Structure 1
Amino acid sequence: MPKALSFSTEIAKEVESRLMDLQMGIMVNILSHLPIKSIFRCKIVCKLWFHLLTSDPLFGKMYYKRSSYFPSIFLSINDSAIMLSPRFHLPSPTLYKQNLRLISSCNGFICLFNGWRNTVEHSVYISNPLLGEYFEVKLPEWEKRVQHVDYAFCFSETSGQYKVLRSVVIKFEGRPHVSELEVYTLGVDEKWRNVGEIPEPLCRSFCKANVNGVVHWMNSEKNDSIYSFNSEEVKSLLAPRDLETSSSCFTLVELGNCLC
């Protein structure tokens, strides 16, 4: 081997060794400055980088904040006469597209629901459309007494974890239905934790707003309360006064880190 080539190889190995010796936070900080095409290449460098670029919530959060241009529009068009050229593709061609809907998005990740909310025949997916990757969330076993379920997706600023919320409406004979809330933390385990009963279930008819990692939703029958979930606890907030119409006419949205 020529001396010049041998010398350059040694330098490359030394640089690689020094980079791998960096603290995890510093390494994530460096990688978060890369353009998207470079990120694709870095995914195949080693298992550590693959994990950082695809699963580490800190990288996703830092990259999302640094992106000068980050597409944040998701359209669903049912009119076949309208043709669009999609920027991103759905995670799998086998999904029932007519029953596929967006639950929520956080830091560039999107949560998708596919199927029917009142039967066992449904699935929940977490997708990174920029990297073209997705995985299916393992759901708990369906019980016969379950009437319907709904989902929400959020990122906890406190713990740095992504969470999928699942409200379950359980029917009983001779007494009112009960709504319970279950939580699934991504990357921790495959178990759903039951945090207890909630006054009002998550309902797909009323948009859920995610503000600073806190999920908010409205009462489906009244317009006097807004519910929020954060740190494994459900709280009730008073809605703005003088709302003359029913809550079915309102939509909760996030605007500039504020609830609107």
Structure 2
Amino acid sequence: MKQSDLLTNLPSDIIIDILSRLPIPTIIRCKSVCKPWLHLLRSHEFATHHLSTSAPALAVFQYKITSELYDIYEFEDDDQHYKLLTSFMPPCRGMIQGSANGFLVLRDLSLRPHGLSICNPITREYMEIHSPPEFDYTYPQVAAFGFGASRITGQHKVVRVFHGREIPECHVYTLGTGSWRSVASSAPLRYGNGSIGEFLNGNLHWLVFDSNGKPWISCFDLETELFSIISPPLPLRTQRWPVAGVFAFQDKLCVCDNSSEDEIVV
């Protein structure tokens, strides 16, 4: 049997395991080898396997006058050191609006209404999410976004919280459906314009403030699509974004207060 025939006749799960061990630039080139490999690299099975065997990574957005560049860094040695895995330039000029299971949501700030796209930085593939015309807004109206996956079904969802009045409106886009749905909104809370919901344990989290200026954490369960609020673990010295916000660190949700010139409180 020829060596090429041996590779062709390998089970798909073994080929996926082999391809997932390659450097990212090599994986990208493998898309052009043959149609079966292209199909495997685009499959959910490859994405799941590659994510399960990969070290934690960080996506960094770098703004330049002529272009935007995204760098993907892999953490090593108990997250104390990192190395550059790959860099890429997206087809649209956008900011990162969230990440889940290796996928990024990019928001094109040059469009009204703001265009969104889902990006796989490993395969360099993009999928646009079109916003309906009623999503257009002007200052002082506010729009906040989030992206994550539900705990049970594993469905990936983009969430948009909008408020031009007292009560926020919420819309959900489930990947694969091609449309937005309106869901029950949260309590009358103030979200930061352009703030990003932090994804952790199947929930999105935003730092918000009530009408009295008291801070809360607004939680959106991606499985039940219901809102709840919890108190932050420490008193904040500011009501301004982006000097205060919530972030995920390992398996914990953190509140960061960066309003002081002398210290950062986490």
TM-score, length-normalised on structure 1?
Answer: 0.70
The aligned residue for residue 125 of structure 2 is 133
Q: For 1:72, which of 49, 58, 65 is the aligned residue? A: 58
Q: Contact between 1:214 and 1:229, CA under 8 Å: does it hold in 2?
A: yes
- Is the partner of 2:11 in helix, strand or coil? helix
Counterpart CA distance in 2 for 1:144 and 1:8 is: 59
1:88 counterpart = 2:87: yes
The aligned residue for residue 168 of structure 1 is 162
The amino acid across from 2:249 in the alignment is L
Deviation at 1:163, TM superposition (A): 1.1
1:196 counterpart = 2:184: yes
Q: Contact between 1:40 and 1:131, CA under 8 Å: does it hold in 2?
A: no
The aligned residue for residue 211 of structure 1 is 200
Q: Contact between 1:43 and 1:53, CA under 8 Å: does it hold in 2?
A: no
The aligned residue for residue 53 of structure 1 is 41
Deviation at 1:164, TM superposition (A): 0.8
Deviation at 1:167, TM superposition (A): 1.5
Q: What is the root-mean-square deviation of aligned Cα atoms in Å?
A: 3.6
Deviation at 1:43, TM superposition (A): 6.6
Q: Contact between 1:153 and 1:164, CA under 8 Å: does it hold in 2?
A: yes
The aligned residue for residue 30 of structure 1 is 17
Deviation at 1:201, TM superposition (A): 6.1
Q: Aligned residues: percent identity?
A: 23
Summarize the Cα distance change of 1:32–1:65 in structure 2 as closer, same or farther, 3 Å threshold. farther
The amino acid across from 2:60 in the alignment is F
The amino acid across from 2:87 in the alignment is F
Counterpart CA distance in 2 for 1:201 and 1:44 is: 51
Bigger proportion of residues as strand: 2
Question: Aligned pair count?
Answer: 228
Q: Which has the larger radius of gyration?
A: 1
Q: Contact between 2:216 and 2:232, CA under 8 Å: does it hold in 1?
A: yes
Counterpart CA distance in 2 for 1:223 and 1:39 is: 48
The amino acid across from 1:140 in the alignment is P
The amino acid across from 1:224 in the alignment is P
Counterpart CA distance in 1 for 2:88 and 2:20 is: 25
In structure 2, list runs of 5 or more residues that go unmatched.
72-85, 255-266
Summarize the Cα distance change of 1:185–1:148 in structure 2 as closer, same or farther, 3 Å threshold. same
The aligned residue for residue 156 of structure 1 is 150
- Is the partner of 1:218 in helix, strand or coil? strand
Q: For 1:245, which of 234, 238, 242 is the aligned residue? A: 238
Q: Contact between 1:149 and 1:168, CA under 8 Å: does it hold in 2?
A: yes
Summarize the Cα distance change of 1:65–1:197 in structure 2 as closer, same or farther, 3 Å threshold. same
The aligned residue for residue 172 of structure 2 is 183
Summarize the Cα distance change of 1:54–1:241 in structure 2 as closer, same or farther, 3 Å threshold. same
Q: For 1:224, which of 212, 215, 231 is the aligned residue? A: 215
The aligned residue for residue 102 of structure 2 is 108
The amino acid across from 2:95 in the alignment is R
- Is the partner of 1:61 in helix, strand or coil? helix
The aligned residue for residue 3 of structure 1 is none
